[in-house]
């Protein structure tokens, strides 16, 4: 990947956003943008000024399904506008539409399973495992859960 490649960094707010912000070394090398949720969580250590903020969603709310369908349309609009070569995500819910739509558009997907997942896979990880071009885990025990994954070590 050269500087002319574009990377979309996608993460839910909170811990997922904190993890993706630790990939600053990658983010600094490429044309990039961040997609996250609107929240009070402060974004630290992320250089790119290009950011998209989407509403937080709770899959247990009665209005979840229409909001989730809307998220797929919003994802398509962002990806068609930005045309990234890669999507790098640490999850969670916001990541799924970006992985699905990204794959349909021919964008390479890199998923980093959460540092908090030491022995059990996350729901998002299970959903995107087979569509990821590169699936990374941060704990050696997770290689049993995701045999085609790569051990990347801890982001922290």
Q: What is the mean pLDDT of residues 35-61?
A: 80
Place of tokens 């247990």: 60
Whole-number percent of the chain with pLDDT over 90: 60
Residues 6+ apart with CB under 8 A from 30: 1, 3, 5, 6, 7
User: What is the structure's pLDDT at 137?
Assistant: 93
For the chain, the domain total comes to 1
pLDDT at 2: 52
pLDDT tops 70 at residue 103: yes
Give yes or no for residue 45 having a pLDDT over 80.
no
The verdict on residue 95 lying in a domain is yes
The reported pLDDT for the residue numbered 61 is 87
Of residues 69 and 23, more confidence is placed in 69
- Computed over every residue of the chain, the mean pLDDT equals 89
- Per the domain annotation, does 1 fall within a domain? no
Give the H or E element holding residue 105. none
Domain span holding position 142: 6-151
Most confident of 22-26, 42-46, 80-84, 88-92: 80-84
Residue 50 falls inside a structural domain: yes
Tell me whether residue 156 is in a domain.
no
């Amino acid at each position: 990947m050269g500087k002319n490649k574009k990377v979309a960094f996608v993460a839910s707010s909170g811990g997922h956003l904190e993890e993706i912000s630790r990939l600053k070394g990658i983010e600094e090398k490429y044309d990039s943008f961040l997609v996250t949720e609107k929240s009070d969580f402060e974004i630290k250590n992320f250089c790119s000024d290009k950011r998209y903020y989407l509403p937080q969603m709770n899959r247990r709310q009665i209005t979840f399904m229409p909001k989730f369908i809307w998220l797929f349309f919003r994802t398509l609009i962002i990806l068609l506008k930005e045309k990234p070569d890669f999507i790098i995500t640490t999850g969670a819910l916001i990541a799924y539409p970006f992985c699905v739509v990204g794959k349909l558009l021919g964008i390479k997907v890199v998923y980093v399973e959460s540092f908090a997942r030491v022995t059990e896979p996350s729901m998002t990880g299970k959903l995107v495992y087979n569509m990821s071009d590169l699936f990374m885990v941060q704990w050696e025990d997770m290689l049993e859960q995701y045999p085609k994954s790569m051990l990347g070590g801890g982001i922290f």
